[in-house]
Amino acid sequence: MADVMTDVEAVTPELEAAAERAESRRGVLLALPSGFYLVLFFAIPLVIVLVYSFASRSSTGLTQLRDWSLDAYQRLWDPLVGEIALRSLILAVATTAICLAVSYPFAYYIATRGPTMRNVLLVLVMIPFWSNFLVRTYAWRVLLGSDGPISQISQALGGEPIRVLFTNTAVLIGLVYGYLPFMVLPLYAALERMDWRLVEAARDLYADGWTAFRKVTWPLSRPGVIAGSILVFIPTLGAYVTPAILGGARTTLLGDYIVSQFLAARNQPFGSALSVTVMTVMLGATILYFRTGARSL
């Protein structure tokens, strides 16, 4: 806007300032409804969780907004919490790594097809992406069940019945299945936008295929890698639906642990402290990831 203004000579500085003020007022008016909504239904709830995490608990389990303390945060050092957090972290990192390893060549393949083929393949990726997450997770419960198709095939071939359901492996399969499209689409977008002439230039300068990939393709697709990793890592770290359907009693993750503090255990201050901690760690990790990702570009 500003550089267009300077082209026009007859505009006085006062007029320009007034126009800018009017322009900024319009911006505020546009921002106001969503800003108001998000303050009321997002920022204030955020503050409430923060306040609750310092609250105390009566002997009957009710939250008391007095006797403020750090008790809830002290419980975070409980070995059980550490175990659950570590398990969640390992599963989230493993899910992100597997998704990346599988999606990169997959997205690369789609992005290097001809226009018609590319569109067809893309629609085939879109369908699971838009399909209901719960339903897609439930499908694995049917598949992996002790009398499910995979187990039956295994037995028909003379093998053992499959007992994967309600283990960490089942949760990992479910998470990879659930979040794979979230990795594929940003990777595809980054690779599709890429200027392939740069790769050709590298090859013309006698780079072999691997060097050209490492020095040209990979750095250029980096924004897709970062976006995809964040889109997979964040929801898997707080996953609740997948472990609830495919996991068992011994596969508690942070997501269901937090939920149980509100629905079963009724320890709201501790649940709030857990939420605040998970949120802070995630925010920190995201910012760090963006920073390092941007620097190494």
Partner 1 sequence: MSISTGVRPKSPIERLLAANSWLVFLFFYAPILVLIGFSFNDNNNVGIWTEPSLRWYGAMLDNSDVVRAIRTSLIVAAVSTVVSTVLGTMAALALERFRFRGQRVYDGLVYLPIIIPDVTMAVMLLLFFAQGFRIIDSLIGWSPSFGIGTISLSHIAFSISFVAVVVRARLGQLDPSLEEAAADLYATRWQAFRRVTLPLILPGVLGGALLALTLSLDDVVVTSFVAGPGATTLPVYVFGLVRRGVTPLINAVSTAMLVASMILVGVSLVFQRTSTASPETES
Collect all residues with Cβ–Cβ distance below 8 Å to 150 and sequence separation of at least 6: 143, 144, 162
Collect all residues with Cβ–Cβ distance below 8 Å to 95 and sequence separation of at least 6: 172, 175, 176, 179, 232, 233, 236
Nearer to partner 1, 198 or 282 (CB): 282
Q: How far, rounded to the nearest angstrom, does the alpha carbon of residue 269 sit from its chain's CA centroid?
A: 26
Nearer to partner 1, 46 or 201 (CB): 46
139 in contact with partner 1 (CB under 8 A): yes
Nearest partner of 92 among 282, 246, 225, judged by Cα: 282
Shortest Å distance, C-beta 268 to partner 1: 7
106 in contact with partner 1 (CB under 8 A): yes
Which of 265, 283, 288, 294 is the binder for partner 1 (CB under 8 A)? 283
4 in contact with partner 1 (CB under 8 A): yes
Kindly state the number of chain residues that form the binding site for partner 1, as judged by CB under 8 A: 87
282 in contact with partner 1 (CB under 8 A): yes
User: Tokens 């707080």 belong to which residue?
Assistant: 238
User: Residue length, the chain?
Assistant: 297
Measure the CA–CA gap between 147 and 143, rounded to whole angstroms: 9
Shortest Å distance, C-beta 138 to partner 1: 5
| Token pair for 81 | 């919490």
Which of 84, 85, 125, 191 is the binder for partner 1 (CB under 8 A)? 125
56 in contact with partner 1 (CB under 8 A): no
Neighbours of 261 (CB within 10 A): 20
Which of 56, 152, 167, 169 is the binder for partner 1 (CB under 8 A)? 152
Nearer to partner 1, 38 or 80 (CB): 38
25 in contact with partner 1 (CB under 8 A): yes
Which of 71, 89, 97, 133 is the binder for partner 1 (CB under 8 A)? 133
Burial class (CB in 10 A: 0-12, 13-18, 19+), 121: middle
Q: Interacting stretch for partner 1, rule CB under 8 A, among 25-33, 66-74, 79-87, 154-162?
A: 25-33
Nearest partner of 169 among 79, 251, 107, judged by Cα: 251
Nearest partner of 193 among 107, 126, 251, 297, judged by Cα: 107
Shortest Å distance, C-beta 136 to partner 1: 7
Q: Which residues partner with 63 through β-bridges? A: 57
Here's the x/- map for partner 1, 176-195, by CB under 8 A: it reads as: -x--xx--------------
Which of 58, 59, 123, 157 is the binder for partner 1 (CB under 8 A)? 123
